[in-house]
Amino acid sequence: MRELLADVSDFLYREADLLDERRYTEWLELLDDDYRYSVPLRMNVPFADVADNENTKLGAEVCWFDEPKSTVEFRVTQLMTGVHWAEEPVSRVSHLLTNLRLTRVDLPEVEISGRFLVYRNRVSDETDILVGRRRDVLRRAGDDWKVVRRTLLLDQSVLLAKNLSIFI
Model pLDDT for residues 39-76, shown as the tens digit of each residue: 998 888 888 877 777 887 888 788 899 999 999 999 99
Asked if the structure places residue 38 within a domain, the reply is yes
Asked if the structure places residue 138 within a domain, the reply is yes
Instruction: Name the domain count of the chain.
Output: 1
Beta-carbon neighbour count of residue 43 at 10 Å?
A: 13
Structure confidence at residue 26 (pLDDT): 98
Asked if the structure places residue 28 within a domain, the reply is yes
Asked if the structure places residue 132 within a domain, the reply is yes
Asked if the structure places residue 101 within a domain, the reply is yes
Structure confidence at residue 164 (pLDDT): 87
Domain containing residue 18: 2-154
Higher pLDDT, 31 or 126: 31
Could you give the CA distance from residue 111 to residue 101 in angstroms, rounded to a whole number? Answer: 9
Asked if the structure places residue 146 within a domain, the reply is yes
Asked if the structure places residue 47 within a domain, the reply is yes
pTM of the model as a whole: 0.91
Structure confidence at residue 74 (pLDDT): 93
Over 90: is that where the pLDDT of 137 sits? yes
The CATH number covering residue 41 comes to 3.10.450.50
